[in-house]
Structure 1
Amino acid sequence: MGREDQTWMSEFILLGLSSCWETQVSLFVLFLAMYLMTVLGNFLIILLIRLDSRLNTPMCVFLSILSFVDICYINSTVPQMLIHFLSAQKSIPFYSWVLQLFISLAMSSTEFFLLEAMAYDRCVAVCRPLHYAVIMHGGLCLGLAAGCLVAGFMNSLMQTIIFQLPLCHKVVHHFACEMLAVLRLTSVDISFKVMVAISGFLVIMLPCFLVLFFCGRIVAAILCIHSAQGCHKAFVTCASHLIVVSMCFGTAIFTYLRPMAGSSAEQKMVTLFYAVVTPMLHPLIYSLRDKEVMSAFRRVLGKLSDKG
C-alpha cells in the first residue's frame, strides 16, 4: 500500500456478531465467562506442571506450551471482541489490526505444529515404550518446541504481508482479524491467494497427515497388544490428544478448505469455536482424562490445605 492508502485505512470497522444491544450484552457476559475460564484453566495447567516434579515429562512439557499458546491466542482476539460488545463504535486501528492478525496466526500455526509433536510423543510412548526415555530426551523436546514456535511465527510473518496489498474497503463482516475476512478486503490477483492456500496446506494439512500417520502407528500397536489392560492403558494415553486434534484440525480444515462454500455467519461460528471454545476445553480434556495430572492436582491441593 502507498502512504495515501495507509492514511485512508487508518482503522477498520468490525460488524461483530450482532447489532442488537440486548444480544450484545448477553454475548459479553457469555464470552467473558468463557474467557476467564480459559485463562484460569490454562494457567492452572502451567502452574501445576511447574509445581509438581512428577509431571516433568515430555508430554506435560508440550502440554504446558500448548496452554501458553492458548492463553496468547485467546488474548489476541477475545478482549477486543468484549470491548466491541459494549461499544457503539466498533473500530480497530490499523496497527492493532495487523498485530492481532500476526499473533493469532502465529499462535494457531504453532498449535498445529505442537499437536504434531505431541502425536509423535504419544506414538513413541505406545510403539516403543522401552526406548521412550532415550528417544524423547530433553534436547529433542526442547528442539521440537522451539521448532514449533519458529515455524508458527515464520508462517504468520509471511501471511501478514497481505497488509502491503491494496485494500478495497474497511468494513469487515467479522468479529476479529481473521485471514479469510482480510482476503475479502483485498483486490489481489489469484497468485497471492494461491500462496495463502499453499501456506495453509503446509501449516494445516501437512501436520494433519503426519498426525494421522502417527495415529495409525498407535492403532496398529494397540491391536498387537494381547492384554486387555495394556490396550486400555494405551488407548487412555492417546484418547485426550485425539479429541483435541479432531477439534483443532477439524475446524481449521472445515474453514480453510471450503472458504467460498460457507456463508459469513457460518465462518464466524466456526472461528468462534476454534478461537474461544477449543482453548477453554483443552485443560478440561487433558486434566480429566490424564490420571497423572489429576493426581498432581490433588497433591498440590493437599499441600496447600496442610499449609493453611
Structure 2
Amino acid sequence: MPSARPTHENCWPDHPAALEAGVCWDAVRVSADSGHQILALVAEFGLGPRIGPVIADHDQGMWWFLVGLGSHNEPWPPNAAYLTTGSVISVPPRHGGPDDAGLRWIKAPGPVRGHEFTDALTLLTCLDVIGERRRLAAGHVVRDESAHQVNVPYTSVRLPLRTGTVLLDRIRSCGQHVGPVMLCRSHGILHVLVPPGEADTLPRVPGVLAVTEGSTDCGHHGRPRRWLLPPAADPQALTRVDTLTAALQRPVGKAQASSPYRLNVRAWAKENRIPVGEFGPIPQSIFDRYEKAHGAGRSRS
C-alpha cells in the first residue's frame, strides 16, 4: 500500500475548482449509498481515523474518497471506480460549505495521526464487504428476532461478539453443527443456544459471559436483536455443549491464506482485531470468490 503523503496546500483550493487526479492524490468514486455504508463500516470497525478527505456531489449522487498516489494496483471491485492521471475531479473549497451544485466535503482535508488520505486497504475491504453483503442478501433469510421462535427447551450461552464469531467459524470449519445464534449489537453479545441441563461447566470456561436457562434476555436493547443463525423449522437442533466447550478451549492455529490481497486483508484484520469468517464482519466468501476468479494457489500465512 502507498504511504500517506505530506499535506500540500496547493492540493486544496480556496474556491471550487476542477483538479486532476494523480498529482497530489488519486480518488475512488462510489455511489452516495455506498459512501454512507463505508462510513458505517469504519465506525463498526473502530477505524474512523483511516478515512481521509471525502467529497460528495449530491446532484450526481456520488462520493470521492481521496487516496494516496499509486493505489491503482489493488483489486478494486466493480462497485467503485479508481481515478488517477487524466481524470478531473471537482473539489470544493477547503474551508467552504456546499456550493450551488451540491458539492461539499463529507470529511474535509487535514492530517490525522500522520495519515493525510484514506487508507486504501481499509477502503477496499469496506467496498468488498458491502458488495458481498449485498450478494448474500439476494436470497437472505428474515433474521428479525420476532420472525422466528424457538420451540424446544434451551440454555443460552452468552459470548462476546468478536470472540463468538471466531468461535462459530472454528466449529463450522471442522464440519460440526451450529444451532440457533442470536446477535445483540447493543451489548456486543452472541447468544448460542445449547440443550438445557448440560451447560453447568460452561460458566467456568474462559470467554463465557453468562449462562441463562430458557432466556436470551440481556437487558435494554438500543437496537433490535437479530438471529445470526435463525432456528430451523424442523428439527431445531441446538449446538452441542461439548462442541462449544472444545472450541473455546482449542488453541488458535495458523490460518490458511493465499494471494497478496488475501494476505494483506488478513494482516489488516488481525492488526485491527476484526474477525474474518463466515460469521465475522468480513465474510470469508470474499476471499474464496477472489481466489476463484484469479486462480490463486494456496500458501501458509
Task: Tell me the TM-score range normalised by the shorter chain.
Answer: under 0.3
Which is richer in helix? 1
Larger Rg over CA atoms: 2
Q: TM-score with structure 1 length normalisation?
A: 0.23
